[in-house]
Chains A and B, each alone.
Chain A
Amino acid sequence: MQAIEISGLRKTYRSARGVVNAVDGLDLAVGAGGVHGFLGANGAGKTTTIRALVGHLHATAGEIRLLGHSVPHDLPKVIDRVGALVEQPSFFPNFSGRRNLALLARSRGIPQTRVSAALDTVGLADRAGSRFATYSLGMKQRLGVAAVLLKDPEVLILDEPANGLDPPGILEMRTLLRRLGEEGRTVFVSSHILSEVEQTCDRVSVIAHGRLVRSGTVRELMAGGESRFAVSVPGGSAQLAAAAQALRRAGFDLEVTGDGQISVAVEGEAASRVTAALSATGIHLSLLMPIERTLEDAFLELTGTPPTAPVAAPAPPQQSSERRP
């Protein structure tokens, strides 16, 4: 059984300005256990999907199942096994963090001892007695995650949980999510911080314009698409131009990156064709190296945003940033 199954989900908003499909026939399956990233650009439909998942909005069409139960109809049957954080955590500003959690716990008959445990887990025990209104964005986010943990859920649905966290906080959140995933829980986490997703998630689903574009492991996503090699030749720019010309003649799609390298698109494992084409013209390589695609490259490619020039893995950071518009 999948933890989350979505098929043909559509959410249409109609207004005087026209019709907008925030989610447009989304199909998604999230298996039980592990951390599953949910990636999409702003407006791609991530939050709308999550809000539909937890019954906060009514879908125009499609079917949603959480742990095998239909949403929203059977959501009450499964809500105790699901914890969710949707957008910004919302609590009563004049109550302390502890009191806010205690109220939620009492409303569901959850033992009050769990409140302290959840606060400890997110590192908020010291400030639990302060008013929620005095919390920083990161602390509010932690309290939201603590509320999710109150139910000791099998499935956690988290919408941008690292929002507002400082670097140590992001690291703690990453560790927490990994730990929860390793405990066998299903963590479904939307994020726009691609490096976080890359380091935290086992699997990733990418959506664009309300539709699923690709789903798979992070490695599968990064391996997909066009593979490229970085080529360097000894000598000056004249030699580089000659090499580029030779490769073009051999039918390669390439780009001179401006840092003395050529980025060559190579199908499959045919890197040897590059060496053959160059040696045939008497040019010898000083470097032939596969360019590692980042999740960001894959994401940009999948979501239809024109990808920037790929970066050779060993390239220094300043060169990397220069090559990106």
Chain B
Amino acid sequence: MNLFVAELWRFRSRRVVWVLLVVVLGAIALGMTVRAATSTHDASRTFIGVDGDCVDDLVVRGEFTGDTTPCEKLQFADDDRAKLRDLHAVLRGFGPVFVLLAITLAASCLGAEFGAASLSTQLLFEPRRVRVWVTKLSAVMVGVGVVIGVITAFLAGTYSLVAATRGTTEGVDRAWWSDRALDGARIVIACMLGAALGFAITAFARRTVAALGVFVGLFILEPLLYEVTDTFDARLPLWPLLTFVFDPFSEFDFSAENNFGLASLGDALLPPLVWTITLVALAGWRFRRAEIR
């Protein structure tokens, strides 16, 4: 427990954690200020003559009963208000950024250890390497989870504030809030998995930049591979992880084919989970046997 507390303390003491946190929170605050300023509703051009709601709107509001009206036949009002019910889309949009942030934080945490060769000194205080490895990984995952949790909460909070003061909160009820809480939880889980992946990749490469390179490479490569093979990228970790964040599975027009062959949240979580466990175990085994310099 002492070691875990010390690792958490170290994570908390790292300058890069605070710099990234301030930058991201600042960017969100700035973005929300702009959104508040541009949140407008021209009532004179509000849509009239509806002969039934569009299917998309009904699904979003959870009121879809099976009666359909083609969306293209509807006219929409000139309503650019910040709508609280769009928070789902806002969280989705930020998901990949948060996963990248998580990978960066985790990779830099271990990369700094290799850069400073501080593991050599630490192992003179705790020579049980497996314990050191597991503790470091756990502390980084928890630290990243907290950071991402704070950022997600800040994002949701500021957007809610903008919607409540300058936009609209209609169509929101307790069930909707539960769903958003699950969105946030999925983002945190995905980021913790991403952190573990970044940690393991850095352990192999001994450089922070390697994990970021792999992230960017997979971001580009996986869809290309899917185009070629129809299945291959679903076995790689990144896009399934992002799909887990996006959660397209409850959408009325969902198709697995358009989502890398993934049919459920479980499907999406499995590849990154398997990759994470495998890479973390291999990196840990290597660390246990490595000669420390």
Contact = CB atoms under 8 A, between A and B. Distances in A.
A232 B109 CA distance: 70
Nearest to A83: B124
Given A58-B289, A103-B9, A91 B128 contact: no
Nearest to A88: B117
B107 to A, nearest CB: 16
B48 interface: no
Contacts of B2: 106-109
Contacts of B86: none
Interface in A95-119: 95, 99, 103-104, 106-109
Contacts of B292: 51, 56-57
The residue among B2, B9, B124, B128 with the most chain A CB atoms within 10 A of its own CB is B124
A54 B6 contact: no
A90 B117 contact: yes
B124 A54 contact: yes
Contact of A90 (B9, B13, B116, B128): B116
B116 A56 contact: no
Majority SS at the chain A contact face? loop
Report the interface size class on chain A. 20 to 34
B164 interface: no
Interface residues of B, number: 29
Interface string B8-44: 0110011100000000000000000000000000000
- Pick the most buried of B14, B120, B122, B293: most chain A CB atoms within 10 A of its CB: B120
Interface string A74-88: 011001000110111
A164 interface: no
B5 interface: yes
Interface in B246-293: 289, 291-293
B120 A56 contact: yes
B120 A106 contact: no
A86 B289 CA distance: 19
B220 interface: no
B127 A55 contact: yes
Interface of B: 2-3, 5-7, 9-10, 13-15, 112, 115-128, 289, 291-293
Given A54-B123, A86-B120, A88-B117, 6 more contacts: A56-B292, A58-B291, A90-B118, A106-B5, A107-B2, A107-B126
